[in-house]
Amino acid sequence: MTQPHGMLFVATNVGAEDEADFNQWYDHEHVEERVAIKGFLSGTRYQAVNAERKYLGLYETDSLEAFTSADYHAAFTRQTAWSVKNLQKMVNPMRRVSAIVHKHGKGTGNQLAVLTLQAIDANALSAWQQQISQTPGYIASSVLLPDGNLSSPLPKESQQHRTMQPMLLIHCSDAPCCDRLAADAAQAFAGDIQRYALNWQLTKQELAHG
């Protein structure tokens, strides 16, 4: 059986006085550093439309094993001073390492809804995904199942009440569609909605070709 892809989910706020440097660091150092790690496939940044945390980074990997590799471990032992400074500037961050399951559709939309769920009913979710598959503006959806052992907290992340709840990701090509589908999913699966818009993405192929 093929191993599911993995995903590193990092959401955070940052003080207004630190945002310019934080975004420079993320855009010109951090994303490229992470995507360069063996097993990483892409790094994608989002900014909140209506969410508890303003910034979201999603890093897809070919499997969860990418997060236990020597290359990934080495990334933490050679942090740049710029990285250390900005990791300390994060406000109320959230880090989850997850398996990507229940994938439906293909692609990355410019609008993203993240629904935090209490549980997953696989049959009900599959039926819902089939029902919305031809909805204009719908691109893809998937579920992140966090791994508690791999989801070690960020330096400024609270270590209390770190629940490892599944998250439903819904990608769409327009905001009204994303809002409608998120509201429908929240009602169907009792989820809390966080809404984001795409900022930019770097893939392994782009990095390899310079």
Which amino acid type is present at position 180? Answer: R
User: Which tokens sit at 23?
Assistant: 């975004």
User: What's residue 76's pLDDT?
Assistant: 81
- Residue 182 resides in a domain: yes
User: What's residue 16's pLDDT?
Assistant: 98
- Residue 50 resides in a domain: yes
What's the structural domain count of the chain?
Answer: 1
User: What's residue 2's pLDDT?
Assistant: 76
- Residue 72 resides in a domain: yes
Average pLDDT, the chain: 96
Tokens 């310079």 sit on residue: 210
User: What's residue 127's pLDDT?
Assistant: 97
- Residue 95 resides in a domain: yes
Classify 145 as helix, strand or coil.
strand
- Residue 70 resides in a domain: yes
- Residue 45 resides in a domain: yes
User: Which tokens sit at 181?
Assistant: 């589908």
User: What's residue 102's pLDDT?
Assistant: 96
pTM: 0.96
Neighbours of 51 (CB within 10 A): 19
Residue ranges of the chain whose pLDDT lies below 70 = 1, 210
- Residue 1 resides in a domain: no
User: What's residue 1's pLDDT?
Assistant: 58
- Residue 35 resides in a domain: yes
Alpha-carbon distance of 10 to 97, in angstroms, equals 9
pLDDT tens, residue by residue, 11-70: 999 999 999 999 999 999 999 999 999 999 999 999 999 999 999 999 999 999 999 999
- Output the domain CATH number for residue 36: 3.30.70.100
The whole domain housing 36 covers 6-208
27-50 core/surface letters (b: 16 or more CB in 10 A; e: else): eeebbeebbebebbbbbbbbebee
